[in-house]
Structure 1
Amino acid sequence: MPKIDVHTHFLPEPYIETLVRHDINWTGGVDLDPWTPAAHLRFMDDWGIDVGVLSCLAETGVYFGDQREADELARNVNDIGADVVRQYPRRFGVFGAVPLPGVDSALAELDHIYDDLGLDGVYLVSQVDGTYVGDPKWEAVYDALDKRGATVLLHPVEPKQTPDLPWQHWIGEYVFDTTRVFMTLVFHGVLDRYPHINWILSHGGGTVPYLGHRFAAAPRVVQAYRELVRRPIPEYLRSVYYDVAVADSQVQINTLVDAVGTDRMLFGTDWIYADKLFDHTRTGEHDLTRLLGADAARRVGSDNALRILPRLAERLAAAPR
């Protein structure tokens, strides 16, 4: 079975040009370099990864304050991603960029992503200009995603407001932002109203698996929360997926297994941002078989991804080796 990396990034030249134009010359603590399929394939081959499902984002998605720019940038990077998949149908997939906060723009690009380009799903950043995924402002987008049975990678970005701390925010604030998204999806009822969306929480779900018991206490303590949730909180935890990108220590893996089970876990690397974590002298560090055992490693490494990425599954079955 192929090993599928559902959380890996590409930065085509137009995207880097946009970042530089907005005086963003670093992202997540990593210097920016032009992305090429060849460099990405070298990384994948070195680490035994068969398929990388690409998403194009940095400190933010494609919105930098100008909706028209976001619309054009999303279209550009999605078209580039589709070209990469056409060139390497068995090696790459793509989660398309959605130009929120503009709902009409987002809906138009969803049609392009699915109907014109045939991409594998979409990614949404945790929040855009302070509005979190799950907010009622974007109800029409959730409805469109649900109708398509979409798979959505939820990726954290720089929070709009953060305390003035002396360390880079990717270390802690990003995983906290993923946690905020999960709470927003639960307490706004999105997970109940739109059950056909396959949500993937990045980086092991942030702190969601660890804090699950604390979330479960909220409806017992506060009447308002009892009126917002329809199911026990542990069921919500098991209704989404979790990639293990930068979350594959034995402690994190064990927590995920205990909280949600291996049928809700997906392999991910967070390359190129996590490049320095892949040390050739410690190749066993990211070995799913060592971490989980052979059967569970197959589920996490490929089976679960193929179940929620049907277009990728079709390409792997149809394309010549």
Structure 2
Amino acid sequence: MTDPARVDVHQHLIPPERSRAMADRATALGWPAPAWDKPSAIAMMDRRSIATGVLSYPAPLAAPDDPAGARAGARSVNEYTAELVKDRPDRFGHFAMVDFPYDTARTALHMALNGVPSRYPRIKVILPHAGGFLPYAAHRFAIAAHLHPGTTPESLLTELRRFYFDTAISAGPAALPSLLAFAAPGHVLYGSDFPMLPEEWGTGFDTGLDEYPHWEDGQLHAAVNRGNAELLIPRLTQT
């Protein structure tokens, strides 16, 4: 049974002034051009039992050699999103935009090898798309600890398990068991990747979550779909 109050920690928005550039970027990659506006986002959320979407902008804001443009773009997107959240705090949250694109698994491994998660425990990092290749290959990556003085495979795995993971495009029958076998309890959160993933494509992953046969009692509805996000973002806690 679908949870009627999901918190979606991997949902995007596209401000109107950036819609053409985003469509052109998608077309160049052979991907469907994403369409976004507030009413259609809320309608999608209602259809998919999402109470609140935590929004972020899904693409680089400027060329790599244009830091000033990236800063200006980030400010513009953040101000637009802040107004949207102020208008509908019941339906939207907001991750502030910084212009820092990265490869998920590579960056997470680099951070873990350098002890970043344990040195800065108040910084909570959510890795998108179930951490990419990371959960599947974590024990293989742990071998790299032997090449890093002062690090052991066990300590590296502990660092990697400090990350959080969302389920966007990752609730398939192969990826989901790997994620759940690796992630620490309480560290898996629901994500849709709307509108970058068209709704008609994403609902299959929702079904994969709902129909996965090996959930422990309360693990999906009380934790993955909502409770784990509430612990990270207390404002979203239901009273």
Could you state the TM-score of these two structures normalised by the residue count of structure 1?
0.65
Alignment match, 2:62? 63
CA root-mean-square deviation: 2.6
Quickly say closer, same or farther: Cα 1:241–1:29, change in 2 above 3 A: farther
The answer on whether the counterparts of 1:78 and 1:97 sit within 8 Å (CA) in structure 2 is yes
- Which residue identity is paired with 2:233? L
The 5 A counterparts of 1:21-36 are 24=25, 26=27, 29-36=30-37
Deviation, structure 1 residue 310: 2.3
Quickly say closer, same or farther: Cα 1:178–1:33, change in 2 above 3 A: closer
Q: Which structure has more RCO (C-alpha within 8 Å, separation ≥ 6)?
A: 2
Moved over 4 A (4+): 17-20, 228-231, 288-291
Q: Distance in 1 between matches of 2:21 and 2:131?
A: 29
Deviation, structure 1 residue 27: 7.1
Secondary structure, in 3 states, of the residue corresponding to 2:136?
Answer: helix
Per-residue CA deviation, residues 252-307 of structure 1 (Å, 9 max, x unaligned), is 22112211244110000111122141358x97334277562551012111111011
The 5 A counterparts of 1:72-83 are 72-83=72-83
Q: Distance in 2 between matches of 1:178 and 1:82?
A: 26
Q: Distance in 1 between matches of 2:225 and 2:106?
A: 27
Secondary structure, in 3 states, of the residue corresponding to 2:125?
Answer: strand
Q: Distance in 2 between matches of 1:27 and 1:41?
A: 28
Instruction: Say which of 2, 6, 11 aligns to 1:3.
Output: 6
Quickly say closer, same or farther: Cα 1:206–1:261, change in 2 above 3 A: same
Q: Distance in 1 between matches of 2:211 and 2:5?
A: 13
Instruction: Say which of 206, 230, 238 aligns to 1:306.
Output: 230
Secondary structure, in 3 states, of the residue corresponding to 1:35?
Answer: coil
Instruction: Say which of 125, 128, 132 aligns to 2:101.
Output: 125
Alignment match, 1:120? none
The answer on whether the counterparts of 1:250 and 1:291 sit within 8 Å (CA) in structure 2 is no
Secondary structure, in 3 states, of the residue corresponding to 1:30?
Answer: coil
Alignment match, 1:145? none
* Structure 2 unmatched ranges of 5 or more: none
Give the aligned length: 233
Q: Identity over aligned residues, as a percent?
A: 29
Alignment match, 2:41? 40
Q: Distance in 2 between matches of 1:93 and 1:28?
A: 29
- Which residue identity is paired with 1:205? G
Deviation, structure 1 residue 235: 0.7
The answer on whether the counterparts of 2:168 and 2:192 sit within 8 Å (CA) in structure 1 is yes
The answer on whether the counterparts of 1:14 and 1:77 sit within 8 Å (CA) in structure 2 is no
Quickly say closer, same or farther: Cα 1:75–1:268, change in 2 above 3 A: same
The answer on whether the counterparts of 1:306 and 1:312 sit within 8 Å (CA) in structure 2 is yes
The answer on whether the counterparts of 2:142 and 2:154 sit within 8 Å (CA) in structure 1 is no
The 5 A counterparts of 1:84-163 are 84-99=84-99, 124-126=100-102
The answer on whether the counterparts of 2:143 and 2:153 sit within 8 Å (CA) in structure 1 is no
Could you state the TM-score of these two structures normalised by the residue count of structure 2?
0.85
The answer on whether the counterparts of 1:15 and 1:73 sit within 8 Å (CA) in structure 2 is no
Per-residue CA deviation, residues 191-217 of structure 1 (Å, 9 max, x unaligned), is 232121101011011111111111222
The answer on whether the counterparts of 1:288 and 1:301 sit within 8 Å (CA) in structure 2 is no
Q: Distance in 2 between matches of 1:39 and 1:250?
A: 30
Instruction: Say which of 192, 198, 202 aligns to 1:278.
Output: 202
Quickly say closer, same or farther: Cα 1:18–1:261, change in 2 above 3 A: same
The 5 A counterparts of 1:175-190 are 177-190=103-116
Q: Distance in 1 between matches of 2:35 and 2:123?
A: 32
